[in-house]
Structure 1
Amino acid sequence: MRTKAKVSIAVGVAVLVLAAGWLLMTRGPVDGGGAPAEMQRPPPVVEVATARRDRVEVSVQAVGTVEAAERTDITSQVTGKAAEIRFSEGGRVEAGQVLVTLDSGREQAALDVARAEQRDAGRQLNRLQGLEAGVQISPAQIDEAEARMATARARVAEAEVALKERQITAPFAGSVGLRRVSPGALIEPGAVITTLATTGAYKVQFELPSELLMQLKPGLPIEIDAGVERRLVGSVVHIDNIIDPATRSVAVEGGLEASGEWLKPGAFVGVKTVVDSRADAVLIPEEAIVFEGGESYVYVVGSELQVERRSVRIGVRQPGEAEILEGLEPGTRVVVRGVQTVQSGQRVQLAGDEQGGPPPKAQ
């Protein structure tokens, strides 16, 4: 029995020795601290960006309507038949150019008569004024002749105005729209013949929240997105002095210039108004910011490549970047890739630095 017990003990010791050897072979050597080398994982590799100081713009978006800088309906002041149409639809006209002539036979005849009467009155007045000094002429005769002359001049002026009204002209330079009348058509006062609008200069009407009223002022830059891969730059021209009680918004008018025929009055456009700008804003890539439970924070990388979680207050956000109002100073390094793999107090390895560890000290 004793021999069997000795054999069992020997077998047990051998099993323990073999198990211990297997553990040493599979888990590797143990360092001085007693932890297996496999458990000392390499620091996570991250990419960082440096907070920089740059200019940032505070802007607000709106939808606006394009209008010509000047636009008017071309109408007639008098009744008459259209004798001649002198414009082409969509064509450009100059200020004062005749667009339509009305039949003017009677007006021309009336002007001819008025001018004949003026010439006759002038001859009568000249004859009386040229008589010799010995001829008796009463002052009343001279007065009557001068009155006839004045009346004749007034009738000529009146006839000229009546004849001029038979020509419908462009009040300013621009392009005309569709023609609403045909030659020979009877045109009544106020009837629209065509429309005239300036080209090259435009207005943009849009509305902004009344909360921005204190920041709005003429001259603020605006950017127009016409939806055709073209962006135009203009400025605020006028701000209404009345707030719409229904929408609590204020009407704003912007001005801009654009060449070509692609921008048309009545078009809807996007309007970005820059209401404020800061030249010394602190900016970091937006992907460096972690949002969690109503809090925003970043991981700051220190000189020893140790990360620190730091809360930040965000200001203006623009494509790819965010302004940091509190929490960071320019020159601070923050993790932008690998944010989800690090923890505060942990050391990291920078992408491209195969050795990791702290940067070498300056000699």
Structure 2
Amino acid sequence: MSKPVKTVVTILVILLITGLAFYPRLKEYASKKEEKGAGAGKNAGAGAKGGAPGKAGGPAPIEILVVASQRIEEKILSTGTIIANEEVEIRSEIAGRITSINFKEGDYIQKGTVLIRINDADLQAQLQKLEYQKKLAEVNEERQKRLLEKEAISQRDYDISLTNLNSMNADIENLKAQIAKTVIKAPFDGTVGLRYISSGSYVNNATRIATLTNVNPAKLDFSVPAKYATSVRKGTGITFSTEGGEEKYRGTVYAVEPKIDPSTRTLTLRATSPNPGRKLVPGAFARVEIILNAKPNAIIVPTEAVIPDLRGHRVFIVKNNKAETISVEIGIRNDKTIEITKGLMPGDTLITSGILQVKAGGEVDIKK
């Protein structure tokens, strides 16, 4: 093969390889060009049938609310726990065997009612012995006193006999105090809970006998955020309900923790509520509501109707079937509503939905 022919063959091979490499891209480019041409033809046909395309836009579809004054309350919502007015675990101050149990579980008892008696036979015997010794000491003291008056004994001898008598009296009082501890009485009116002992049981100061609870009035512990520390004080009224019930109860704050909890940034309060029917059970969960401020004639609008901007807040209203934007000032804010303190008046037609499609001065289409 001659050199010119070899050169031509080489060039043809290179062109063939290059063509194969770029063929898919050329095919894709040709397809797009065809689609673009077809689309232009359709648009031209549509223009020929219907004329030039219409002007974009039109009245924006909206929903409205006629502004009216209504009552609004600034309130704190919290949770708390019902606790007893008074509660104590009944335990014995001394060790001994129980000789009688004078209450039934669940009984409502009065203050001073005897609940438990502990065996005091040994203490009574000791008391009787001391009483006999006291009589002897009294006789000896009287005799020593007469002898002292006759100067038959020294003052020291008489002082010893008098001290002995006084010691006897002190021992007797101490023993009587020990005997009194064998009778356990109710420290206040209340309901006795479950008992954990039986007659004949041996008890000491670590033995739990039962629980005595007074629930009228009931107490309620709850917390409020630190920012309300100066708003809630002693005498503040509250409303609450318990879990599983819709009945509303009223109470009054009577004690406030003197400091804010640094770990939760909350202030703990305690309220009391009348509970004559004993419906409020200690340990129950409670939903608490505290009304800080109430306005009877406030203007309330939905949260989504208020638009924040750099200068504050604004809303859209409808005038002459057109949208108009006005600046407003807000007050109390809840999860779904906002109070408008300035800018709106009762009777204004407020746009509540479709705000994104609305522009100042634009026509609107009020949905029915």
Distance 2:300 2:334 in 1: 10
Equivalence for 2:305:
290
Q: Which amino acid aligns with 1:238?
A: V
Q: How far apart, CA to CA, are the structure 1 residues paired with 2:261 and 2:342?
A: 35
Q: Please, which of 211, 217, 220 is the counterpart of residue 195 of structure 1?
A: 211
For 1:203, what is the secondary structure of its paired residue?
A: strand
Q: CA deviation at 1:66?
A: 0.9
2:166 is matched by which residue type in structure 1?
A: A
Tell me which of 104, 107, 111 is aligned to 2:123.
107
2:97 aligns with: 81
Q: CA deviation at 1:138?
A: 3.3
2:85 to 57, 64, 69: 69
- Measured after TM superposition, the shift of residue 220 of structure 1 is 2.3
The Cα of 1:216 is off from its aligned counterpart by 3.5
Cα offset, 1:65, TM superposition: 1.0
Alignment of 1:239-258 (within 5 A): 239-245=257-263, 247-258=264-275
Residue type of the alignment partner of 1:201: P
TM-score, normalisation: structure 2:
0.66
In structure 2, do the counterparts of structure 1 residues 86 and 337 end up closer, same or farther at CA, with 3 Å as the change threshold?
A: farther
Of stretches 160-169 and 320-329 in structure 1, the one that deviates more from structure 2 is: 320-329
Which deviates further from its counterpart, 259-268 or 283-292? 283-292
Counterpart of 2:261 in 1: which secondary structure?
A: strand
Deviation at 1:105? Answer: 0.5
Q: Which structure has more helix as a fraction of its residues?
A: 2
Please list the CA deviations of residues 93-112 of structure 1 after superposition, one character each: whole Å capped at 9, or x if unmatched: 23333211111110111112
Q: CA RMSD in A?
A: 4.0
Any idea what SS the aligned residue of 2:259 has? Answer: strand
Q: CA deviation at 1:309?
A: 5.8
CA distance in 1, matches of 2:158, 2:183: 39
Q: Counterpart of 2:278? A: 261
After superposition, give the CA deviation of every residue in 1:233-274 in whole Å (9 maximum; x if it has no partner). Answer: 2233222514242x3333333332222122111100101123
Q: 1:73 and 1:96, CA in 2 relative to 1: closer, same or farther beyond 3 A?
A: same
Letter in 2 for 1:77: E
- Contact preservation (8 Å) 1:66, 1:267: yes
The residue correspondences of 1:163-242 to structure 2 (distance < 5 A) are 163-227=179-243, 228-236=245-253, 237-242=255-260
Distance (whole Å) between structure 1 residues aligned to residue 141 and residue 298 of structure 2: 89
Report the counterpart of residue 8 of structure 1 in structure 2.
Answer: none
Structure 1 residues 113-151: Cα deviation after superposition (integer angstroms, max 9, x where no partner): 222222222233234445796573432332122112101
Q: CA deviation at 1:92?
A: 2.0
Deviation, structure 1 residue 194: 0.8
Query: What is the one-letter code of the residue matched to 2:69?
Result: A
- Corresponding residue of 2:170: 154
CA distance in 2, matches of 1:148, 1:338: 96
| Contact 1:222/1:233, CA 8 A, preserved across alignment | yes
Look up the SS of the partner of 1:155 in the other structure: helix
Tell me by how many angstroms 1:77 deviates.
1.6
Give 1:64 shift: 0.9
Q: Is the 8 A contact 2:303 2:337 kept in 1?
A: no
Summarize the Cα distance change of 1:292–1:317 in structure 2 as closer, same or farther, 3 Å threshold.
Answer: closer
Task: Give the distance between the partners of 2:194 and 2:322, measured in 1 at CA.
Answer: 73
The answer (yes or no) to whether the contact 1:298–1:312 under 8 Å persists in 2 is no
Unaligned runs of 5+ in 2: 1-63, 364-368
Structure 2: how far apart are the matches of 1:318 and 1:260?
A: 35
Q: CA deviation at 1:225?
A: 1.1
CA–CA distance in 2 between the matches of 1:64 and 1:132? 74
Q: Residue 89 of structure 2 aligns to a residue in which SS?
A: strand
One-letter identity of the residue aligned with 1:160: K
SS in 2 for 1:84: strand
CA–CA separation in structure 1 for the residues paired with 2:262 and 2:68? 45
Other-structure match for 2:340: 324
- CA distance in structure 1 between the partners assigned to 2:223 and 2:318 by the alignment: 42
SS where residue 262 of structure 1 aligns?
coil
From 60, 70, 85, the equivalent of 2:76 is 60
Match in the other structure for 1:352:
none
Could you tell me the percent identity over the aligned residues? Answer: 25
**1:240 and 1:176 mapped to 2: Cα distance?**
33
**Gapped runs of 5+ residues in structure 1?**
1-45, 347-363
